[in-house]
Structure 1
């Protein structure tokens, strides 16, 4: 009987049939929306060369935002919390229903899809509902970064969400969400957040929204340096929160992409040979099969530079303030704050730029510089005592592990300001009299050590033989007679 019922069931569509249905549906949609023309893709999947080394740093651990990780079983627990936020938004919306907000988002369907690198299998209504709910939760979370939050001018956080969203930003769950919010694969378009926020009660929506974004960036920025005027001018032009954070931390440099990995300038070879000669490049284990991986740059460590008289000085600026001034023996670096969220932030900033513009890796070059000069906890201690690293991790050793674990799976990029600093540090170190003395000792003393050892051994054997002969023939009488 059961076999007969199964025979009567309509056959399930095959994978090929499902693909045809999805593609046909996509072609039927109005993909010629003028707003989507020329819109660059900004939300990517993290490259496998990065995600395979540290999956937790890139994959959402508590909640999904947007379509990439929607309905992952291990993230479903947060869905009812997001639904709670959506209900609160529905209650506070002015003269419209939540379904109207969903329909408004659906009208931008092609523009939203154009932001994503992957093909999104959800239909228009489902995708709009996902964004409406996720945006509701994210805005409730972001409003904790607004000064008005404490004054009560915004919607207060409900008691049901108090264990997750905390305007004091001290609770563990709040930071767990924060780490998921900033991950590349969890981004949702910023213009969409802005539109949803415009439906909220109150006035000056853009001013309030910009204040929220600024507070968010200020909390997460590792260098804590914000050009406030530039932020106001550019914040709404960014694609998503991670891109906004990137352009706050990485200024616009004049970049020279390295188009050929085989053609290397002679200067670099000379610097590399000197670095190898005095052993200034630490050798860290790297996964060879996950090429292309850029090896650690050749530059002395903090400890090595400090021993020859280099002083490390904090600057109040951003990455553009990095400089090595050999005239006064000073290495200038921006102040960087490191806490439990820092590794996720740093890695996803690198991942974002690796996807969107691998030839313009300004921030990655900075992480390579820090990786190069930090080998162990002693290097961290010197930078911490100099006021460059503000460490909120458990130990200096954790900071060293963080920097040494940063992956550079992008092709080399020349950033004039940073490369000049690296070259200056290498030249200064190689020309130091202490280093020259070490090189001389290694070349002429240590290299001759086997010969000296052989000569000393022969002299010892000769003297032993002479002593034995003297004991037999009474050499003292012979010498007296002479």
Structure 2
């Protein structure tokens, strides 16, 4: 990459005959302290070395943006058009996605004021400084953004106020939050607070299961002769019966889910003590919401258009365009947002919402068919993998309109007749399968005792007499 940077810097510098590269470096040294203040870590290089690095990287970025701007004006922006001049020693073209990935990384950002200084040093024309660079930056952000920008005609003076390219893209995508919205009263900003898998208040199957399990373990631990003669055969039969039941199609899935849902209190507390894990947003998937009658509708706006209409059962989501560069852009936007002082991680919350509703390939396919996702990737599986692989929030956040939509979706989902019937059936099956197994084992033992008793005494005669009298009366 260093060779490409040097070649691009030399090519871009050759366009301006009035200034040599050493003169450009000497003038950038005057901004050394301002450049160092833009980075959180101390740059352990000398001032002249830093000026050389900034000059080469700045010229390379300006050359890339300039080519991108020209091809965009000609309506021919493609993955190879802007990097056709970048080749390696064997003559192969440099991957366009690799260059974009390096440019959009948080740690590779170059201050915009430094780009303006380079342009102003090279060109004495004021219109070039005031119009060309902002238009190149705005055009690049517009073509790279996965979601529609809030403002597509931002004034040049406001473009220059942003810290770097990634900061400009972030503020063009994410709407500003009011101070009163940072601390909502309902408290739905916490991850996992609005769960859709709630149980009925009249019956808690997990608690009854835990009480029964503790009583049964207590009886099994008592080494008393009479109790041991009863509990040991039941334990053996339970082991055999559970293996038989687990092999039945469908039942094994239910049993595995139940074992994951119900954990002893000691195990849960130990998991919490180990690491403060941030959970995924508790919201039904797209396929489950569709089963409940929810319709997904695309909006032409940005992230602020996320909402749910409970009366019409319509979930409004912004259109998102996904291509080979989207994952790099989204990951770096999430990483940059986590470093800001704002309490509302809006973009992170949006990615967590998409991660919550997209669980499988079918979910991604449904959103694509509803024109919410414009997929330029290979398949819907890549879309599901992209959102499921996104990093969770590093801290709790409050985004009122997104949290309100999640709350309304969960309420609508919980009050659906199909879901309530499914939940009651699930509670009955999950909560009573072991009790029903023990009852069946006890009945089986009683029948075995009855069979042994009847083999010794005159039970066959009694049964024969009863059947004969019944046939005679008929």
What's the TM-score once normalised by structure 2's chain length?
0.72
Q: Alpha carbons of 1:209 and 1:267: their partners in 2 closer, same or farther (altered >3 Å)?
A: closer
Q: Is the counterpart of residue 189 in structure 1 residue 111 in structure 2?
A: yes
Q: Is the counterpart of residue 81 in structure 1 residue 4 in structure 2?
A: yes
Looking at structure 2, the residues matched to 388 and 440 of structure 1 have their Cα atoms a distance apart, in angstroms, of: 33
Looking at structure 2, the residues matched to 336 and 290 of structure 1 have their Cα atoms a distance apart, in angstroms, of: 37
User: 1:127-148: CA deviations, max 9, x gaps?
Assistant: 1111111111111111122147
Q: Is the counterpart of residue 114 in structure 1 residue 34 in structure 2?
A: no
Looking at structure 2, the residues matched to 269 and 442 of structure 1 have their Cα atoms a distance apart, in angstroms, of: 25
Looking at structure 1, the residues matched to 83 and 290 of structure 2 have their Cα atoms a distance apart, in angstroms, of: 53
Q: Is the counterpart of residue 242 in structure 1 residue 184 in structure 2?
A: no
Aligned pairs for 1:171-210 within 5 A = 173-200=95-122, 204-205=127-128, 206-210=130-134
Q: Is the counterpart of residue 128 in structure 1 residue 112 in structure 2?
A: no
- Residue of structure 1 in register with 2:16 after alignment: 93
- Residue of structure 2 in register with 1:221 after alignment: 145
Aligned pairs for 1:25-40 within 5 A = none
Looking at structure 2, the residues matched to 191 and 267 of structure 1 have their Cα atoms a distance apart, in angstroms, of: 36
1:267 Cα deviation after fit: 11
Q: Alpha carbons of 1:194 and 1:293: their partners in 2 closer, same or farther (altered >3 Å)?
A: farther
Task: Answer yes or no: is the 8 Å Cα contact 1:184–1:242 preserved in 2.
Answer: yes
1:378 Cα deviation after fit: 1.0
Task: Answer yes or no: is the 8 Å Cα contact 2:9–2:63 preserved in 1.
Answer: no
Looking at structure 2, the residues matched to 399 and 159 of structure 1 have their Cα atoms a distance apart, in angstroms, of: 26
Q: Is the counterpart of residue 410 in structure 1 residue 394 in structure 2?
A: yes
Aligned pairs for 1:1-400 within 5 A = 78-147=1-70, 162-163=85-86, 173-200=95-122, 204-205=127-128, 206-230=130-154, 232=156, 234-254=158-178, 265=187, 272=194, 274-277=196-199, 293-357=277-341, 359-400=343-384
SS at match of 2:293: coil
Task: Answer yes or no: is the 8 Å Cα contact 2:196–2:282 preserved in 1.
Answer: no
Task: Answer yes or no: is the 8 Å Cα contact 1:258–1:412 preserved in 2.
Answer: no
1:87 Cα deviation after fit: 2.1
Looking at structure 1, the residues matched to 342 and 278 of structure 2 have their Cα atoms a distance apart, in angstroms, of: 13
Q: Alpha carbons of 1:470 and 1:232: their partners in 2 closer, same or farther (altered >3 Å)?
A: farther
Task: Answer yes or no: is the 8 Å Cα contact 2:413–2:419 preserved in 1.
Answer: yes
Please, what is the CA RMSD of the aligned residues?
Answer: 3.7
Task: Answer yes or no: is the 8 Å Cα contact 1:146–1:208 preserved in 2.
Answer: no
Q: Alpha carbons of 1:267 and 1:83: their partners in 2 closer, same or farther (altered >3 Å)?
A: closer
Looking at structure 1, the residues matched to 82 and 469 of structure 2 have their Cα atoms a distance apart, in angstroms, of: 108
Q: Alpha carbons of 1:298 and 1:172: their partners in 2 closer, same or farther (altered >3 Å)?
A: farther
Q: Alpha carbons of 1:182 and 1:228: their partners in 2 closer, same or farther (altered >3 Å)?
A: same
Q: Alpha carbons of 1:86 and 1:310: their partners in 2 closer, same or farther (altered >3 Å)?
A: same
Gaps spanning 5+ residues in structure 1: where? 1-77, 152-156, 166-170
Looking at structure 1, the residues matched to 314 and 355 of structure 2 have their Cα atoms a distance apart, in angstroms, of: 19
1:457 Cα deviation after fit: 6.9
Looking at structure 2, the residues matched to 267 and 249 of structure 1 have their Cα atoms a distance apart, in angstroms, of: 20
1:452 Cα deviation after fit: 5.1
Looking at structure 2, the residues matched to 240 and 448 of structure 1 have their Cα atoms a distance apart, in angstroms, of: 60
What's the TM-score once normalised by structure 1's chain length?
0.71
Query: Which deviates more from structure 2 when the two are superposed, residues 289-298 or residues 240-249?
Result: 289-298
1:288 Cα deviation after fit: 9.2
Task: Answer yes or no: is the 8 Å Cα contact 1:337–1:392 preserved in 2.
Answer: yes
Gaps spanning 5+ residues in structure 2: where? 75-79, 201-256, 262-270
1:392 Cα deviation after fit: 1.6
- Residue of structure 2 in register with 1:422 after alignment: 406
Looking at structure 2, the residues matched to 237 and 367 of structure 1 have their Cα atoms a distance apart, in angstroms, of: 27
Task: Answer yes or no: is the 8 Å Cα contact 2:192–2:280 preserved in 1.
Answer: no
Looking at structure 1, the residues matched to 187 and 300 of structure 2 have their Cα atoms a distance apart, in angstroms, of: 33
User: Max radius of gyration: which structure?
Assistant: 2
Aligned length: 387
Query: Which deviates more from structure 2 when the two are superposed, residues 470-479 or residues 185-194?
Result: 470-479
Q: Alpha carbons of 1:323 and 1:164: their partners in 2 closer, same or farther (altered >3 Å)?
A: farther
Q: Alpha carbons of 1:187 and 1:370: their partners in 2 closer, same or farther (altered >3 Å)?
A: same
SS at match of 1:296: coil
